[in-house]
């Protein structure tokens, strides 16, 4: 094959790829899309939300979730940035986030998108409860004297036993 024929074939193949590719434009999706980042958090953390609305219904955004408070700011194009502040009392589980796009007041029925966020265990908010338990509470001088006497008796018995072994020549 000649170089001109190969080059012509490559140009034709390239044109076919370019013409068959979907056209990219700045219009919004046909249905709303909401994304949550990260998808897994612990109670008390914040989840970032991105709500992309269809054309014509991207004036107002709101949302709800049983996991906490959802808020959205002003749109940039068709996309609203928002947050879900997961309540510190939220128990572990999977929670739905519902986000709505509407064309503003008086709004016709809003279009809705949902996603989920997973809340795992509660964060540590205090020191672990370990240690002496209830043994320290109510300590008095009588208990201290008895404990000291028992310790002295154990040390004395140990020394007596060691002296006897040394005197008899046995180890």
What are the pLDDT digits (tens) for 99-116?
988 876 655 678 888 889
Backbone angles phi, psi at 39, to 5 degrees: -85, -10
- Per the structure, how many domains does the chain have? 1
- Residue 46 domain-assigned? yes
What are the pLDDT digits (tens) for 111-141?
888 889 999 876 656 666 565 555 555 667 8
- Residue 6 domain-assigned? no
Backbone angles phi, psi at 151, to 5 degrees: -65, -45
pTM higher than 0.75 for the full model?
no
Residue 69 β-bridge partners: 85
- Residue 112 domain-assigned? yes
Is 49 in contact with 99 (CB distance < 8 Å)? yes
CA dist., res. 53 & res. 44, Å (int): 28
Q: H or E stretch including 81?
A: strand 79-86
CA dist., res. 49 & res. 64, Å (int): 12
Q: H or E stretch including 80?
A: strand 79-86
* 3-state secondary structure at position 150: helix
- pLDDT at residue 137 in the model: 58
Q: What is the CATH classification number for the domain harbouring 43?
A: 2.60.40.10
- Residue 129 domain-assigned? no
pLDDT over threshold 50, residue 15: no
């Amino acid at each position: 094959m000649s170089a001109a024929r190969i080059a012509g074939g490559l140009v034709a193949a390239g044109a076919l790829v370019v013409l068959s590719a979907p056209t990219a434009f700045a219009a919004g999706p046909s249905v709303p899309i909401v994304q949550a980042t990260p998808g897994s958090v612990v109670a008390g953390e914040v989840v970032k939300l991105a709500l992309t609305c269809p054309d014509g219904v991207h004036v107002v955004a709101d949302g709800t979730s049983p996991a906490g408070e959802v808020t959205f700011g002003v749109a940039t194009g068709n996309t609203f940035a928002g947050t879900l502040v997961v309540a510190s009392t939220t128990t572990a589980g999977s929670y739905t986030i519902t986000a709505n796009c509407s064309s503003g007041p008086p709004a016709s029925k809003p279009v809705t998108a949902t996603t989920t966020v997973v809340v795992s265990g509660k964060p540590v908010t205090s020191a672990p409860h370990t240690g002496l338990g209830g043994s320290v509470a109510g300590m008095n001088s009588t208990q201290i004297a008895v404990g000291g006497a028992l310790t002295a008796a154990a040390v004395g018995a140990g020394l007596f036993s060691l002296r006897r072994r040394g005197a008899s020549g046995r180890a």
